[in-house]
Each structure stands twice: as C-alpha cells, then as structure tokens.
Chain A
Amino acid sequence: GNSVTQMEGPVTLSEEAFLTINCTYTATGYPSLFWYVQYPGEGLQLLLKATKADDKGSNKGFEATYRKETTSFHLEKGSVQVSDSAVYFCALSEWGTNAGKSTFGDGTTLTVKP
C-alpha cells in the first residue's frame, strides 16, 4: 500500500533560518504529491503540489521538488518567519484509487522564534 514518511518534529528555528522538512513516499503507481499547512485552530490548507516527476511546486516562499528517483518531496524555505509556525503535512494521491483518497504523513510541527 501507499505510505508517506516525514521528518519527525518538533522543529524549532530562529527567524530567517533555512527550513527543510523531509518527506519520502511509497506508492504503487504515479502519485501526485502535496504539502499542506495547518495553522493553530484551523483545518489543513494546501501549500503546494507537484503532479509529475521533476515538477517543482512553490508558494509563499516554500518550494518542493518531486524526485522520483529518491521517492522524495522535501519542503524548503530560504528564510522562515514567525508566521510560518504551524504543522506541515506531506501527502500523496494517485489516479485510479478510490475517489482521490490521499495518504498523509504524520505532520511536522514547526516553531519559529523571533
């Protein structure tokens, strides 16, 4: 079956530090890959996505590249802000599986200190 493994947290960084959150996946087919962000007291919201190998998703200064050879989709940001403090989820979804079901990682909590 499909699975997503992401870097365990919590991660604590100082403002303007470089962020990497690792994500690797196992899938039987050719998945699309997603990063979601959950701010305190809210639901998840899509941060970025990539639908095929070597695609780069980007949004709000965050980037992730779909690496088929290493089955990875690591999230990066060059300079984090306090407002980036949140829980980040890596996820995959495949064509042909039930109704667009997604497989989620366990989430990584990021705290950015001023």
Chain B
Amino acid sequence: DVKVTQSSRYLVKRTGEKVFLECVQDMDHENMFWYRQDPGLGLRLIYFSYDVKMKEKGDIPEGYSVSREKKERFSLILESASTNQTSMYLCASSRTGGNQPQHFGDGTRLSIL
C-alpha cells in the first residue's frame, strides 16, 4: 500500500516564525500536492509538483512556498506564519494520469499563536 507520511500530527508555532511541513511518499509517485482543509471551505489546493524541482501554484499560494528536491519528499513552507494560517494541512501524492487517485497523509494540525 502507498504510504504518505507527514512529519507531525500537531504543531504549534508563533506568529512570524518560518514553518516547515514535511511530507514523504514511498511509492515513487510523480505528483505531490499540498492542501489546507478548513471547516465549511472543503479542500483548497496550495501548491502541487509534477516532478523534482517543479512546482505549480494552486488556488491559494499566497504566504506559502514549496520545495521538492527529491522525488519522494515535498515540503510546504510558511515564510512568516500568521494566525490565519491556522488550519489542517494535508499532503497527497499520485501517479501521472487522469484516472489515478490521490493518496493522502493523515494531516498536520497547525496552530499559529
């Protein structure tokens, strides 16, 4: 089975800190994604990557950046954390192709104080 592992289940940081969320997948998937999930707003795509060192903005990239130096790892970076970035963050991966499902990690619940 595909395993997508997010480095932390819960994280508490302070306003203005630089925050790193890490995601690793073990099935050699080409594509990786970062979403945030907020009550009443569903899943919103922040960034995705279809290859090493490649990235594309999603629907809400402001205040975030990403890094993909190795195929299995996709990092989300909050450059200067703000309280409105308190949320559940979900990482996913998939093979290339329109009929391929995404495989999700268990999420990181991030609180910015």
Contact = CB atoms under 8 A, between A and B. Distances in A.
Given A42-B107, A43-B90, A102 B102 contact: yes
Nearest to B56: A98
A36 B104 CA distance: 10
Interface string B56-67: 100000000000
Please classify how large the interface on chain A is, using the bins under 10, 10 to 19, 20 to 34, 35 or more: 20 to 34
Contacts of A45: 103-104
13 contacts: A32-B99, A34-B101, A41-B106, A42-B107, A43-B90, A44-B43, A44-B102, A89-B42, A93-B98, A93-B99, A95-B99, A99-B31, A99-B50
Interface of B: 4, 30-31, 33, 40-43, 45, 48-50, 56, 90, 92, 94-107
